[in-house]
Amino acid sequence: MTSSVGRRILIKLCRSSLSPRIIATRFSSIAVEEDAKNVIPASQPGKIQAALLKDFSSSLVIENLEPPKNVQANEVLIDVHYCALNTSDALLSKNLYTFEPKLPTILGYEVVGKLVEIGTEAEKNGYKIGDQVVALNKEKYGGLAEKCLAEIGDIWKVPSVIDSIDAVSILDNYITALIALERKVSIDENDMILINVGISGISLAAIDLATNVYRAKVIGVCATEDGADLARKKGAFASLKYKDKKLLKQIKEIAAERDIQVIFDDVDGEYFKKVLDCFTDVYKDATLKDLLRDDNFAVVVHHLSREGRVIIAGTATTMTNAHSEVQQGSFSVTGFNLTEYRKKKPDEYRQAGDEVLQFLEEGLITPSCLLIVGLHKVNDALRFVYESKSPGKVVIDIRNKEADAVKVTK
């Protein structure tokens, strides 16, 4: 395990304004101790390299494995180029997620690569060997390997104009944000949306969609100054690091600039404060596990008496399950779980993926990728996901296995 001093240095470097070259060099030096303890075998012909989780809270182990075989009719085999690390990967590695995986297992469910084998149903659906695809493999995982299986319902062709790094960084967060926003509200340019980012990539995606697709006015509330900077880059007209004693005053001042005077007045205003607490309590009482969960994105609609409405979205602490709902007056609070939604409404799930890729192709949205690092340094990357408290993506380069960390500037 990397020393606590090394971990602090790593996090400080990735938050700094140092050049990508300097960060990559120092990231590599921090990984020396880890690499010394986990001897990485040389590649073997006919086998694939993968990062295995063998014991919870222990480092992933690089091993040579037999490639997946017996591709089913509704499956494809992907030659993986990149795999995004998500917060669920970090939680699963410590057995802190919503289910316990059977060990050993290969983490990683957001991948991009080329098809090397296709089932009969995949062929009927127009897929062919050599197609560049992105997969949202939330059922099978397996992305931290040179090859992985995916079902055709979970893959999308990647338009040639889309960069692979953007493709692998976008689907999970943006599909979740898009469906959650669309199923609860019809956003227009007159709406003010307060999005509690915390350290959630989903909430950052919601800012991107609300600002650049729906053209609404967004206030971002973030756990760190780095998160607030990312929110501003997405187009939020105001972005705040959470401060308990100042937040209500700051929101009221921003609302007043848009001629909204009654945001916290009367009974509805008092209830609005309570609902806001459902989101901002994550900064007071929630554990890091709560902050990293990907099934606690929620949407609140508050109708002001005379001057329009305010929408609140983002990470919330009150969601006990995907369909819990509390209503009072003009409010509704609903949690959202993409895995459950996929099972119940697969067509809408796929349509949302198509729309997200179209928005990306048209240049309307831009996913936030922080770091790209080779497969053999996956343990340092995984630790960064768990400890950095940043909503940006970390991507593993499966082909360039020895690659040092490169800080992405966009």
What are the structural domains of the chain? 4-169+368-407 (3.90.180.10), 172-342 (3.40.50)
pLDDT band at 50 (very low <50, low <70, confident <90, very high): very high
The pLDDT value recorded for residue 334 is 55
pLDDT band at 303 (very low <50, low <70, confident <90, very high): low
The pLDDT value recorded for residue 185 is 74
Share above pLDDT 70 across residues of the chain, in percent, rounded to a whole number: 80
The pLDDT value recorded for residue 19 is 41
Q: In the predicted model, what is the mean pLDDT of residues 42-48?
A: 94
Q: In the predicted model, what is the mean pLDDT of residues 45-71?
A: 94
For strands 238-241 and 217-222, give the pairing. Answer: parallel
Integer Cα distance of 247 and 222 in angstroms: 11
Among 60-64, 163-167, 386-390, the range scoring the smallest mean pLDDT is 386-390
Q: In the predicted model, what is the mean pLDDT of residues 233-249?
A: 85
* 325 within 8 A of 286, measured Cβ to Cβ: no
- Does residue 410 register a pLDDT over 70? no
- Does residue 302 register a pLDDT over 70? no
pLDDT digits (tens, 9 = 90+) for 280-301: 877 876 677 777 777 778 877 7
* 343 within 8 A of 224, measured Cβ to Cβ: no
**Of residues 72 and 217, which shows the higher confidence score?**
72
- Does residue 311 register a pLDDT over 90? no
- Does residue 408 register a pLDDT over 60? yes
- Does residue 1 register a pLDDT over 80? no
Integer Cα distance of 410 and 405 in angstroms: 15
- Does residue 175 register a pLDDT over 50? yes
Share above pLDDT 90 across residues of the chain, in percent, rounded to a whole number: 46
Angle between the N-to-C axes of helices 225-234 and 201-212, in degrees from 0 to 180, rounded to the nearest 10: 30
* 193 within 8 A of 219, measured Cβ to Cβ: yes
- Does residue 226 register a pLDDT over 60? yes
Tokens of 29: 């030096």
Integer Cα distance of 394 and 410 in angstroms: 13
Q: In the predicted model, what is the mean pLDDT of residues 56-84?
A: 95
pLDDT band at 392 (very low <50, low <70, confident <90, very high): confident
Q: In the predicted model, what is the mean pLDDT of residues 14-30?
A: 43
The pLDDT value recorded for residue 331 is 47
The pLDDT value recorded for residue 313 is 85
Tokens of 185: 């509200």
Tokens of 310: 């305010």
pLDDT band at 32 (very low <50, low <70, confident <90, very high): very low
Give every CB contact of residue 390 below 8 A, 6+ residues apart in sequence. 14, 15, 199, 224, 226, 227, 230, 370
Among 64-78, 182-196, 353-367, the range scoring the smallest mean pLDDT is 182-196
Angle at 299 between CA 295 and CA 301, to 5 degrees: 165
Q: In the predicted model, what is the mean pLDDT of residues 19-39?
A: 48
- Does residue 205 register a pLDDT over 90? yes
The pLDDT value recorded for residue 66 is 96
Q: In the predicted model, what is the mean pLDDT of residues 140-167?
A: 96
**Of residues 209 and 227, which shows the higher confidence score?**
209
- State the average pLDDT for the chain: 82
The pLDDT value recorded for residue 260 is 63
The pLDDT value recorded for residue 323 is 36
In order, the DSSP letters of 255-287 are: HHHTT---TT-HHHHHHHHHHHHHHHGGGTT--
6-29 in b/e form (b: 16+ CB < 10 A) is: bbebbbebbeeeeeeeebbebbbe
Amino acid, single-letter form, for residue 249:
K
The pLDDT value recorded for residue 38 is 65
Q: In the predicted model, what is the mean pLDDT of residues 343-348?
A: 94
* 332 within 8 A of 325, measured Cβ to Cβ: yes
Helix (H) or strand (E) holding 373, with range, is strand 369-374
The pLDDT value recorded for residue 326 is 41
**Of residues 63 and 277, which shows the higher confidence score?**
63
Among 18-32, 87-101, 161-175, 386-400, the range scoring the smallest mean pLDDT is 18-32
Integer Cα distance of 347 and 38 in angstroms: 43
The pLDDT value recorded for residue 181 is 86
Place of tokens 């040092």: 404
The pLDDT value recorded for residue 12 is 43
Q: In the predicted model, what is the mean pLDDT of residues 116-124?
A: 96
